[in-house]
Amino acid sequence: MKALLLKHAEMNAVRELALPAAATSAASEPRLTAVPPPTAPTPWQRISPVLLKVMEVVGPPLLGILLFIGVWALVSASGDRLPGPVKTWDAAVKVFSDPFYQKGPNDQGIGWNILMSLQRVGIGFGMAALVGIPLGFLIGRVKFLNAMFSPIISLLRPVSPLAWLPIGLLVFKAANPAAIWVIFISSIWPMIINTAVGVSRVPQDYLNVAKVLNLSPWKVTTKILLPATLPYILTGVRLSIGVAWLVIVAAEMLTGGVGIGFWVWDEWNNLNVEHILIAIFVVGIVGLLLEQALILIAKRVTHDHPV
């Protein structure tokens, strides 16, 4: 703003200097007076293109959020069950002012709950990646394995994640590993399938290069198959982490302990609806951040090349 004001002052100075010159030239060449002298842009004219650009980018999302909050406020005002935005905001400020308190196993700060959930997702998803990506690679590369595994994958993939929970509880006899198991089994499919599709779609041209050079299987894998498949693998990873984060809330509601899902269930039992709303926002924001982080990684490691 300071710079703009300065520029405005400079402009005025320039105009003042230019005016006498214009007057003298008009006197000597009267025909030119018919043309209006070029006016310097007013400060508003100078700012408005920038402002318009900013509004174009920020305006629509801002309007959407305002509309959302407006509808929320209206709905909450029409009944007394749902807390409004202001009440929720006040509660959120209180919750986040001390995110890492510990008052016994069932009463811990929101920070601990988020971290615990992230840890479960990390372990379950990490194991799914360790198993799913190599498995997808083999399935995409070996026709026999593809034919062998595709019926099993088609059968198990549509199963609701929570249907796996009893199996986990039965096998592991504890809530925490069961929740991790649910994350594992529900987030493995997108990685297997995307990796397999990616490997099977490696352009024939690249494989011909491998054949002509007579590359060793190791070189074919590291120099051709992996780089060519990387974009597909990362898409699978992104879908998987989305699924994992979706599932963790539901799984924790059932298993208990510390975690954002359990927190929601606990606050429901306390009838603290503000906290449930806060949890919904927290889950949404963390999910968004996870997705954006992976998109960022994907952009970093993949070469933008036309395939």
Q: Considering beta carbons, is residue 38 or 306 the nearer one to other proteins?
A: 306
> Do 240 and 247 form a contact (C-beta atoms < 8 A)?
no
The interface with other proteins within residues 63-102 (CB under 8 A) comprises none
> Do 99 and 111 form a contact (C-beta atoms < 8 A)?
yes
Task: Read off the amino acid at residue 38.
Answer: P
> Residue 155 interacts with other proteins (CB under 8 A)?
no
Tokens coding 166: 């009893």
> Residue 206 interacts with other proteins (CB under 8 A)?
yes
Q: Considering beta carbons, is residue 159 or 213 the nearer one to other proteins?
A: 213
Stretch that binds other proteins, among 89-97, 213-221, 263-271, 292-300 (CB under 8 A): 213-221
Stretch that binds other proteins, among 121-129, 140-148, 188-196, 208-216 (CB under 8 A): 208-216
Please select the residue that binds other proteins; options are 84, 227, 242, 287, rule is CB under 8 A: 227
Q: Give alpha helix (H) positions in 256-272.
A: 260-269
Please select the residue that binds other proteins; options are 209, 254, 280, 286, rule is CB under 8 A: 209
Q: Considering beta carbons, is residue 60 or 203 the nearer one to other proteins?
A: 203
Rounded Cα distance between 183 and 247, Å, is 7
Instruction: Name the maximum alpha-carbon separation found in the chain.
Output: 102
Coil, strand, or helix at residue 162?
helix
Q: Considering beta carbons, is residue 228 or 276 the nearer one to other proteins?
A: 228
Q: Considering beta carbons, is residue 25 or 208 the nearer one to other proteins?
A: 208
CA-based nearest residue to 243, from 176, 304, 290? 290
- In whole angstroms, how close is the CB of 139 to other proteins at the nearest point? 23
Residues 159-172 as b/e (b if ≥16 CB within 10 A, e otherwise) read: eebeebbeebbeee
- In whole angstroms, how close is the CB of 305 to other proteins at the nearest point? 3
> Do 259 and 122 form a contact (C-beta atoms < 8 A)?
no
- In whole angstroms, how close is the CB of 209 to other proteins at the nearest point? 5
Q: For the chain, report the end-to-end CA distance as a whole number of angstroms.
A: 47
> Do 197 and 132 form a contact (C-beta atoms < 8 A)?
no
Dihedral angle over CA of 197, 200, 201, 207, nearest 10: 150
> Residue 303 interacts with other proteins (CB under 8 A)?
yes
Number of residues that bind other proteins (CB under 8 A): 18
Helix axes 175-200, 226-255, angle to 10 degrees: 160
Stretch that binds other proteins, among 46-54, 69-77, 140-148, 216-224 (CB under 8 A): 216-224
> Residue 205 interacts with other proteins (CB under 8 A)?
yes
Please select the residue that binds other proteins; options are 131, 221, 223, 256, rule is CB under 8 A: 223
Rounded Cα distance between 91 and 249, Å, is 21
- In whole angstroms, how close is the CB of 121 to other proteins at the nearest point? 30
> Residue 213 interacts with other proteins (CB under 8 A)?
yes
> Residue 211 interacts with other proteins (CB under 8 A)?
yes
> Residue 208 interacts with other proteins (CB under 8 A)?
yes
Stretch that binds other proteins, among 22-30, 65-73, 90-98, 203-211 (CB under 8 A): 203-211
Task: Read off the amino acid at residue 20.
Answer: P
Rounded Cα distance between 195 and 289, Å, is 23
Q: Interface residues with other proteins (CB under 8 A)? A: 205-206, 208-209, 211-215, 219, 223-224, 227-228, 303-306
